[in-house]
Amino acid sequence: MLHILLKTTLGSAFIASGWVGRSVVIILFVLSIWSWAVFIYKYRLFNRINKDTRDFLDILNEDMTFERVSNISKEFDGPITRILQKGWKITQQSSEKETLIANMRSAMKRSEVEEVAKLESQLPFLATIVTVSPFMGLFGTVWGIMRAFIDIKTYGSAHIMVIAPGIAESLITTVIGLCVAMPAVVFYNYLANRIRKFTDELDNFISETEEIIRREYPATLPITNNT
């Protein structure tokens, strides 16, 4: 497989390149593998979270009381249930109604920030790849052209055999840089969009939970007054 790869146009250009060009290509290759790994992992994670969230909300559609929500949330493990459990702990505290609701919402919003931060992990890395890859390719391009001119001066000839290594080095780094950056920007935008949509869903759920508590307090909540 490697033998066949080296016989391709890019493989031949890689062999003809100098150590700088080869180093740039290897770094870009590693970044490409890393970006694909991040995307595949996040894609599977979001699909699992989305399925768990849909299943959780479907169960609650018929009878959505706060006590029922809290009990069912123990059967699931996902961002939305962990956020709900943080709010449920607050409702166990003795407090005046509006204060309790405000504290519960604050606790759930803090938990939401933590969950979203987990989902956003590795996204800055993808953004870095998007930014850095073209510049690395450009660096290889400039280096290859500079090498070609130096070879012309050294050998006193502009024959194709003299400038070929430098030109090959400049072209392969440009191509690889673009090939790494383009999928990475697609991955980043896709994942960022899914996080935005999921954040909106969490905001809506927190608001719905707050409305349930306002409607049902104090009848279904195990809260005692301080007086």
Q: How far is CA 184 from CA 29, 65, 123, in A?
A: 12, 43, 10
Please report the pLDDT score of residue 95 as a whole number: 60
CB atoms within 10 A of CB 200: 10
Q: What is the pLDDT of residue 86?
A: 76
Q: What is the pLDDT of residue 2?
A: 35
pLDDT for 188: 93
Q: What is the pLDDT of residue 88?
A: 73
pLDDT at position 35 is: 92
Per-run averaged pLDDT (10 residues), the chain, 227 residues: 43 60 83 92 90 76 60 71 76 66 82 87 90 85 75 66 66 83 92 91 83 64 43
The residue ranges of every structural domain in the chain are 2-216
